[in-house]
């Protein structure tokens, strides 16, 4: 018997639905993270699979770009001393041009898959101040209109703003993103809680509880931070490692050291030699690895977390944890600025089709 091969009709509704769901497997989100001292921009493109708290992220391409000395110095000076509106807008425009150049490099590295790029999420140190009542205020250095015009990609920025509206401090915003990226969520049964320590100018400690996919919507993540982990000692004119403060933060985050634990380090080249000794002393049976074991380059962790926040915005998933930020309620973080018409239609189709995950009746009431 002869089998005939039927031609596919590109206008057939069923075929269009099949192509749509096939394309969903290549949902790409870009993340751009500006360093705290405005020295560089780190960028990454991740492939997102799943939705909501079942989201899985896989880095596809990464690139880093140092900022021009004049631009970096201007942003640092403005963030400390302030200035006039004209100067602020000029800095934002220059920064958006550098971000667009890096984003185009990332798209070229992705090849033909770059056509599926839904949005780029941007995070920068921003400007922080307090109003007359002592409430924190935030202004981003990002110019989303210019960035979207130069790249054609929709931009998600101003991440702290929604948490501030909810009464929070505007930080930390990355713990839930870190849980999605680095927690043990193996099916059918996860085993290990994980401790992730990211050392840059500051040291951030993330305690990521174990999950088999059947837990509550928001896992009990713990977070701690040591500012200026390698601060300069003025009297001795030497670098001072804040090891004791870090030990207190780690011990606070890991309430039960007897639970099975895995430890991952990011920013290994900036970690003090005493860090591993400290962790081995506190958790003698816990293996210590770098985030490369999770498929993430240590220098790109911040950009991956920003991309994860962008993916949660696309999935309309609240990303701030009230017990960490102080907010009254979870909020979807970020401000969305449309890109080119074609790219904007693709993003709207993706967001309109999303169905929030079912929640417990007690939470709904």
Lowest mean pLDDT, pick from 1-10, 153-162, 344-353: 1-10
**Segment 94-121 mean pLDDT:** 95
Residue 22 reports pLDDT greater than 60 = no
Percent of the chain having pLDDT more than 70?
A: 84
Over residues 102-109, mean pLDDT: 96
Taking the complete model, does pTM exceed 0.75, yes or no?
Answer: yes
Q: DSSP state, 122?
A: E
* Arithmetic mean of pLDDT, 171-180: 96
pLDDT band at 298 (very low <50, low <70, confident <90, very high): confident
Q: Per-residue pLDDT tens for 234-264?
A: 455 556 789 899 999 999 999 887 889 999 9
Read off the pLDDT of residues 186-218 as tens digits, 9 standing for 90 and up.
766 788 999 999 998 899 999 999 876 655 568
Higher pLDDT, 200 or 354: 200
Could you tell me if 39 and 130 are in contact, meaning their C-beta atoms sit under 8 angstroms apart?
no
The 3-class secondary structure across 175-244, one letter per residue, is HHHHHHHHCCCCCCCCCCEEEEEEECCCEEEEEECCCCCCCCCCCCCEEEEECCCEEEECCCCEEEECHH
pLDDT-derived band at 268, boundaries 50, 70, 90 = low
Q: What is the pLDDT of residue 219?
A: 86
Looking at 21-35, 151-165, 288-302, which range is the least confident one? 21-35
CB neighbour list of residue 223: distance below 8 Å, 6 or more residues apart: 172, 175, 204, 205, 206, 207, 253, 324
Q: Please state the rounded mean pLDDT for residues 130-145.
A: 91
Pairing, β 155-157 against β 117-123? parallel
**Mean of pLDDT values over 143-166:** 96
Locate 256 and state its tokens: 């039960």
Average pLDDT over residues 323-334: 94
On the question of pLDDT at 11 being above 90, the answer is no
Q: What gap in Å lies between CA 7 and CA 176, rounded to an integer?
A: 46
How high is the pLDDT of residue 7? 46
Calculate the CA 209 to chain-centre distance: 18
Distance CA 138, CA 127 (A): 6
Output 329 or 54, whichever has higher pLDDT: 329
pLDDT, mean of residues 29-41: 96
The reported pLDDT for the residue numbered 194 is 95
Average pLDDT on 49-71 reads 91
| pLDDT above 70: residue 112 | yes
Q: What three-state secondary structure class fits 27?
A: strand
Across the chain, mean pLDDT equals 87
Report the Cα–Cα distance between both ends of the chain, in Å, rounded. Answer: 61
For residue 26, name the pLDDT band (cuts at 50, 70, 90). Answer: low
CA-CA-CA-CA dihedral for 167, 170, 176, 182, to nearest 10? -160
Tell me the per-residue pLDDT of 115-132, one tens digit each, with 9 for 90 and over.
889 999 999 999 999 888
- Write the DSSP symbol of residue 298: G
């Amino acid at each position: 018997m002869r089998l005939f091969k039927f031609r596919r009709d590109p206008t057939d509704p069923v075929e269009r639905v099949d192509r749509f769901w096939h394309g969903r497997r290549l949902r790409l989100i870009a993340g751009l993270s500006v360093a705290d001292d405005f020295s560089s921009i780190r960028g990454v493109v991740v492939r997102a699979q799943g939705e909501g708290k079942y989201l899985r992220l896989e880095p596809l391409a990464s690139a880093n770009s140092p900022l021009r000395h004049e631009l970096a110095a201007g942003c640092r000076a403005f963030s400390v001393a302030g200035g006039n509106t004209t100067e602020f807008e000029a800095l934002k425009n220059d920064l958006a041009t550098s971000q667009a150049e890096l984003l185009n490099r990332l798209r070229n590295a992705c090849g033909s898959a770059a056509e599926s790029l839904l949005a780029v999420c941007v995070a920068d140190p921003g400007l922080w101040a307090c109003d007359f009542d002592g409430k924190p205020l935030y202004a981003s250095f990002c110019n989303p209109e210019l960035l979207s015009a130069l790249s054609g990609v929709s931009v998600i920025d101003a991440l702290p703003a929604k948490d501030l509206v909810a009464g929070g401090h505007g930080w930390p915003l990355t713990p839930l993103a870190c849980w999605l990226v680095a927690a043990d969520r193996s099916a059918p049964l996860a085993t290990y809680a994980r401790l992730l320590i990211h050392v840059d100018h500051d040291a951030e400690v993330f305690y990521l509880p174990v999950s088999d996919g059947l837990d509550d919507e928001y896992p009990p993540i713990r977070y701690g931070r040591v500012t200026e982990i390698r601060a300069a000692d003025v009297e001795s004119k030497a670098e001072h490692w804040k090891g004791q403060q870090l030990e207190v933060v780690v011990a606070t985050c890991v309430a039960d050291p007897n639970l099975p634990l895995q430890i991952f380090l990011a920013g290994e080249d900036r970690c003090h030699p005493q860090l591993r000794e400290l962790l081995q002393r506190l958790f003698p049976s816990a293996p210590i690895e770098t985030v490369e074991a999770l498929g993430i380059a240590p220098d790109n962790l911040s950009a991956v977390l920003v991309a994860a926040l962008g993916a949660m915005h696309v999935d309309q998933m609240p990303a701030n944890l009230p017990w960490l930020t102080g907010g009254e309620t979870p909020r979807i973080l970020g401000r969305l600025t449309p890109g080119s018409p074609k790219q904007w239609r693709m993003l709207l189709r993706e967001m309109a089709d999303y169905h929030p995950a079912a929640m417990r009746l007690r939470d709904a009431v």
